[in-house]
Amino acid sequence: MEAISTGRSERDFSQLLALVDRRVAARLAAVLAEGGRGLDEWRVLGLLADGRGHAMTEVAEHAMLPPPTLTKLVDRMVSANLVHRRVDDADRRRVLVFLTPRGRETHETLAGAVDAEWARLADAVGPEEMALLGALLSRVAARLA
């Protein structure tokens, strides 16, 4: 196991986080590409799968995309009949995004492939390590918010 230095080393904490992120994202992206979708689309589909509809700002935050990039992505997803926009009945200034039936079907189809890839990741890393890493990253993220 590689030690993490507190000084400026070739593999400092942020670099290790980025390395793990890139490797995990590449594996998920490969699985999603087989279904004709990308990681950003998957994140949007995943949030909208709850059926509640979400404001664009919330979707952008969840997908970790700047608002202009998200707008372009959602435009493409609207064109592909995966999502639709609707004015919020409670606040007419807000626009909510929802899955279409095709979007829900796409999410369900991709979810099986993504779940299988997560299982392969857990096998490669070890389920205990995955659980520990998830808990630690959640705590760090909450403290840095």
In a domain? residue 6: no
Number of domains, the chain: 1
In sequence order, the 6+-apart residues with CB closer than 8 A to the CB of 138 are: none
Domain hosting 120: range is 13-144
Query: Model confidence at 11, in pLDDT bands (50, 70, 90)?
Result: low
Encode pLDDT of 63-85 as tens digits.
Answer: 999 999 999 999 999 999 999 99
Please give the pLDDT value at position 1. 46
Tokens found for residue 99 = 């899955």
- Is residue 89 scored above 50 in pLDDT? yes
The CATH number covering residue 75 comes to 1.10.10.10
- Is residue 7 scored above 80 in pLDDT? no
Residue 109 CA: distances (Å) to CA of 35, 76, 97, 103: 8, 19, 20, 10
In a domain? residue 8: no
Please give the pLDDT value at position 21. 94
Q: What is the pTM of this model?
A: 0.85
CA distance 125 to 132: 11
In a domain? residue 3: no
Please give the pLDDT value at position 8. 58
In a domain? residue 5: no
